[in-house]
Structure 1
Amino acid sequence: MSIQQWPEGERPRERLLSQGAAHLTDAELIAVLLGNGTVGQDAVGLARSLLSKAGGVSRLLADPQNVPRVVGVGPAKRARLIATLELARRALAERLLDLPALANPRESAAYLSARLRHLPYEVFVCLFLDNRNRVLACDELFRGTVDGASVYPREVVRACLKHNASAVIFAHNHPSGVAEPSEADRDITEVLGQALALIDVRVLDHLIVGEGEPVSMALRGLL
């Protein structure tokens, strides 16, 4: 039975308009984006297949370009999903940029966790702040593999000068899900701190993103 044959009060699009998006499940929201299903599977079933293959909404949000390949989700549907997920990521980034100042470096943790948490490879990003701790930009500086990413202090210094940053917050993910800082994490943080001190840029924190809450090296007393 196609969704058009469902009782009107049960159709995702009609429920979204009458009750609000908060009343729909993840699969129903994605079904609205898909618009229709495929032979033998309605849009909600198709959305469930997509979520199952991706591993959940947060994994879709982490890397929109890697929307799983599912029969029935062709180029047009993939484009709608990728565009919507990217808009969600940008909305999170805008909230961060709109803060008058980061009173606590962990105020950035929600955005960084959403961006990095479920990536299957390691990514090193940097938040650039002005002298009042307002966010200037957030750039992905290095991308690696499942077990590491090479970080080059020279490129970090170059990026800080480009954004005229006065302070930075580093973050990277552990694809294993274990957010404990490694010895290598401590070493590179120290090296970066020394390099940036030469150009008067402060390192406020280095967040390690895994399952659960990101680990703040500053709160651990590791900076």
Structure 2
Amino acid sequence: MKITDMPLEDRPREKLLQRGAQALTNVELLAIFLRTGTRGKTALDLAQDLLREFGDLRSLLGADQVQFCQAKGLGDAKYVQLQACVEMSRRYLRECLERGDVLSSPEDTRNFLMSELSGRAYEVFACLFLDNKHRVIKFEELFYGTIDGASVYPREVVRRALQHNAAALILAHNHPSGIAEPSQADIAITRRLKEAMSLIDVRVLDHLVIGDGYSVSLAERGLV
């Protein structure tokens, strides 16, 4: 069935306008992005085929150019458009945190850190530096590693905290395996950093471990 033959309220664009983007499925959102289908397939059919081929939306959005363009119905133009959308979303989340407001939403923090760190092929250790009112001063990626881990140097974190005149910070790193379960090494470095930060009166509020589509808070587990 052509999309134009569907009831008005079931068409993705009209549904979005009437009920908001959150009411749409991943297939419907992707169909709006694709705009057109291929011979014998509507944009909805193509979107469903692509999500089935890649497994989920995260894998589709994270595909490199070669993987993406090998899929039937896609090409360089669509790849460029999609990457622009992903980057705009990432920058939107960054601006939501860095506009100077008090950091009051743990969910916004998680979403931002996940957008920055998930899907990396190597481990990245980062810090979100905050002032004494928990307003964001700066987000920085500090250490990089292999798929097995990153070397984290507390004195460098101390140096950056002093340079930013931070009063508190949130630690974060990703697990390239996609499994966000904290390791004993994660717990140990959190304790070392907390001790180092206490010497300069900087509070460690949390340490988030980022996996595929979710994160684990060490603070929520009583490990900070």
Report if TM-score (shorter chain) is over 0.5.
yes
Give the structure 1 partner of residue 191 of structure 2. 190
How far residue 6 of structure 1 moved from its aligned partner, in angstroms, is 3.6
Q: Which residue of 2 aligns with 1:75?
A: 76
Displacement of 1:30 in angstroms is: 1.5
- Say whether the 8 Å CA contact 1:54–1:67 is kept in structure 2: no
Mind listing any 5+ residue stretches in structure 2 that lack a counterpart? none
Matches of 1:200 and 1:53, distance apart in 2: 51
Partner of 1:179: 180
State the number of aligned residues. 221
**Residues 1:193 and 1:66: Cα distance change in structure 2 (over 3 Å):** farther
Query: Aligned partner of 2:31: which letter?
Result: A
Counterpart of 1:36 in structure 2: which amino acid? Answer: T
> What's 1:92 paired with?
93
Q: Percent identity?
A: 52
Q: In the alignment, what sits opposite 1:30?
A: 30
Tell me the TM-score normalised to structure 1 length: 0.75
The corresponding residue for 1:141 is: 142
Answer yes or no: is the 8 Å Cα contact 2:65–2:79 preserved in 1. no
Work out the CA distance in 1 between the residues paired with 2:151 and 2:121. 16
CA distance in 2 between partners of 1:85 and 1:100 (Å): 24
Q: Give 1:129 deviation, angstroms.
A: 0.3
Letter in 1 for 2:149: G
TM-score between the two structures when normalised by the length of structure 2: 0.75
Quick one: structure 1 residues 96 and 53, their matched pair in 2 at CA, closer, same or farther if it must change by over 3 Å?
Answer: farther
> Any unmatched runs of 5+ in structure 1?
none
Quote the Cα distance in structure 1 between the aligned partners of 2:74 and 2:30. 11
Q: CA RMSD in A?
A: 3.5
Distance 1:218 1:46, change over 3 A: same
1:146-179 CA-to-partner distances (Å, cap 9, x unmatched) read 4323333354344434433221110123344543
